[in-house]
Amino acid sequence: MAHVRHLISIDDLTDTDLHALVARGAAFSAGGAGRPAPLTGAVVGVYFSKTSTRTRTAFSSGALRLGGQIVSYGPGDLQLNTGETSEDTGRVMSRMLDVLVARTAGDPAEMRAWAAQDRMAVVNAMSAEEHPTQALTDLTTLYRRFGRIEGLRVLYVGEGNNTASALALALTRFPGATLELRTPPGYGLAPYYRERAAEQAARYGATFRERHDMDEPPADQDVVYTTRWQTTGSSKPDADWRDVFAPFQVTAALWDTSPKAVFMHDLPAHRGDEVTAEVLDGPASIAFAQAENKMHSAMAVLEWCRT
Residue of 13, 21, 10, 11 lying closest to 303 (CA atoms): 21
Dist CA 63 CA 97 (whole Å): 13
Question: Is pLDDT of 35 > 90?
Answer: no
Whether residue 275 sits in one domain with residue 216: yes
pLDDT at 2: 63
**Residue 264 and residue 145 share a domain:** yes
Q: Crossing angle for the helix pair 132-146 and 15-30, nearest 10 degrees?
A: 60
User: Long-range contacts of range 253-259, CB-CB < 8 Å, 24 or more positions apart?
Assistant: 254/155, 254/157, 254/217, 254/221, 254/224, 255/224, 255/284, 257/217, 257/218, 257/219, 257/220, 258/155, 258/218, 258/219, 258/220, 258/221, 258/222, 258/224
Do 141 and 106 fall within a single domain?
A: no
- Co-location of 148 and 276 in the same domain: yes
Domain membership flag for residue 155: yes
pLDDT tens readout for residues 261-283? 999 999 999 999 999 999 999 99
Q: Is residue 5 part of a domain?
A: no
Q: How confident is the model at residue 106 (pLDDT cuts 50, 70, 90)?
A: confident
pTM for this model (two decimals): 0.95
Strand bridging mode 121-124 / 207-211:
unpaired
286 in the same domain as 139: yes
With respect to residue 4, please indicate whether it lies within any of the assigned structural domains.
no
Q: Which of 163, 289, 165, 143 is nearest to 227 (CA)?
A: 163
Give a yes or no: residue 1 inside a domain: no
CATH number, domain with residue 194: 3.40.50.1370
* Whether residues 18 and 113 fall in one domain: yes
* Inside any domain, residue 123: yes
In a domain, 3, yes or no: no
Inside any domain, residue 229: yes
Dist. CA 158–CA 167, nearest whole Å: 13
Does 162 share its domain with 117? Answer: no
pLDDT classification of 233: cutoffs 50, 70, 90? low
Both 62 and 110 in a single domain? Answer: yes
The one-letter code for the residue type at 146 is F
Please give the tally of structural domains in the chain.
Answer: 2
User: Domain range for residue 195?
Assistant: 134-291
- The reply to whether 210 and 263 lie within a common domain is yes
280 domain residue, yes or no: yes
Q: Are residues 119 and 24 in the same domain?
A: yes
User: What is the tens place of the pLDDT at every residue in 132-176?
Assistant: 999 999 999 999 999 999 999 999 999 999 999 999 999 999 999
Do the beta carbons of residue 186 and residue 238 sit within 8 Å? yes
Contact (Cβ atoms closer than 8 angstroms) between residue 21 and residue 45: no
Same domain, 168 and 117: no
In this predicted structure, the answer to whether residue 123 has a pLDDT above a threshold of 60 is yes
Q: How far apart are CA 304 and CA 61, in angstroms?
A: 16
| Same domain? 158 vs 271 | yes
Please state, in angstroms and rounded to a whole number, the distance separating the CA atoms of residues 21 and 28: 11
